[in-house]
Amino acid sequence: MAIRRGRGVAAINYPTGMNLGGDPTQALVHSTPTGNFMVTLSSVDLGQGMKQIMAQICAETIGVPTDRVVVDTADTDTGPHCMGTFASRGTHRAGNAVIQAAREARQVMLEVAAEEMEVNASDLETDGQGNILVKGAPQKSMSIFDVALSAHFKRGRSISGRGMFLIPRSYPEKETGAMKPSTCYAHACTVAEVEVDDETGEVTVLTVKNVFEIGRALNPKMVEQQLVGGSWMGISHALYETTEPYYPNRDHGGTDFNQYLMPGPGDLAETEIIVLERPSADGPYGAKGPGEMCANPQIPAVANAVFDAVGVRIDTLPITPERILRALKAQASN
């Protein structure tokens, strides 16, 4: 009887969004009379930071600072249509819709500015600080504040735009079954090191080293936060969490936080996160969906590390001491 050490590796591909009959999201953008911009969505910020990302995307597209954008979300009675916040689709689907809406609003904004400045709209550009300039002659400029006032009170123009992003349904080919379930994939690879006590079956995760390929990180600190938390959640899935240990039998299922186990602050593995950015072809500014992907590779990596440590394959989650001891017993009797 001893504490045995093992190391496991796993790599995954993870689709962004789903494909069950078309996957649309709609966005509307309009300016206030003072040149702030409102993004209206039905997509939900669950705490993952969608409002921040949509504000960044809108601001980048229109050419204003992020703090000039307000994002209003999640009223499915009155807002534009969104399939919802799930399948790691929010940034990708809603972001593309916001870009389209913001481009249309930007075009109207430039047309109003062109009328005021008596130039051609195609000769105008934004400075990202809230001003519209004549290309090559930046001394000739106008603030977006004044452009919006003019649009509202003088020109009678609505600086607004409509956006719709749709991934159409993909049907399998009859002969081969080939189809395109997703247009965009994030990737990850994890190496986990564990210690397994072959007397008690207890697993201690020592280190988790993760590499995540997530397209372009639109907000690097928020991406890092998601990946650190996700790596922890992957360990939690691998070793702790289950609603029904004898599924589909409900017996012994956890009913509260005392019984539904997750690693606490005292159970943390040394965790490393490396981010690779390979912009996606159809993502907003190259983004993919890293949300759920980041909690997946730790699970097979830990299972492989347990195999490396004590030579048993656990193929049911979570990898509990009981399952390891039963497998060790079966192995010994063979």
Partner 1 sequence: MAKVPVQFTLNGSEKAEFIDSGTTLLNVLRDKIGDTSPKGGCHQGTCGACSVIIDGELRLSCLTLAETCNGATITTTSGLAEGGVLHPLQRAFLDTFATQCGFCTPGMIMAAKVLLDHTPDPSREDVVEALSGNICRCTGYEPIIQAVLTAARANSQNAA
Residues forming the site for partner 1 (CB under 8 A):
46-49, 221-222, 224-226, 228-233, 256-258, 262, 264-266, 268, 271
244 among known catalytic residues:
no
* Token pair belonging to 272: 């490393």
What single-letter amino acid sits at 95? G
**Shortest distance in whole angstroms from residue 246 CB to partner 1:** 23
Closer CB to partner 1, 136 or 264, in the complex: 264
DSSP symbols for 107-168: HHHHHHHHHHHTS-GGGEEE-SSSEEEETTEEEEEEEHHHHHHHIIIII----EEEEEEEE-
Closest contact distance (angstroms) between CB of 21 and partner 1 is 30
* CB 289, min distance to partner 1, A: 16
Q: Where are the beta strands (DSSP E) in the chain?
A: 3-15, 23-31, 37-40, 69-72, 124-126, 131-134, 137-143, 160-167, 185-197, 203-213, 270-276
**Cα(132)–Cα(113) distance, integer angstroms:** 8
Shortest spacing between CB 233 and partner 1, in angstroms: 7
Rg over alpha carbons for the chain, rounded to the nearest Å, is 25
- In the bound state with partner 1, the residue whose beta carbon lies nearer, of 269 and 319, is 269
Residue found under tokens 């003072």: 34
Classify the C-alpha dihedral 278-282-286-289 as positive or negative.
negative
CA distance 130 to 109: 12
Question: Given the structure tokens 């949509």, which residue do they identify?
Answer: 54
Annotated catalytic residue: which of 125, 277, 292, 322?
A: 292
Query: 76 vs 255, which CB is nearer to partner 1?
Result: 255
Please say which residue, 37 or 212, places its beta carbon nearer to partner 1. Answer: 212
Nearer to partner 1, 24 or 263 (CB): 263
Q: Tell me the β-bridge partners of 162.
A: 28
- Residue nearer to partner 1 on the CB measure, 49 or 290: 49
Least distance to partner 1, CB of residue 258, Å: 5
Residue with tokens 């009797």: 333
Q: What is the nearest approach in angstroms of partner 1 to the Cβ of residue 224?
A: 7
Q: How many CA atoms lie within 13 A of 244 on its CB side?
A: 6
Rounded-to-integer distance, Cα 146 and Cα 102, Å: 19
The residues assigned a catalytic role are 292
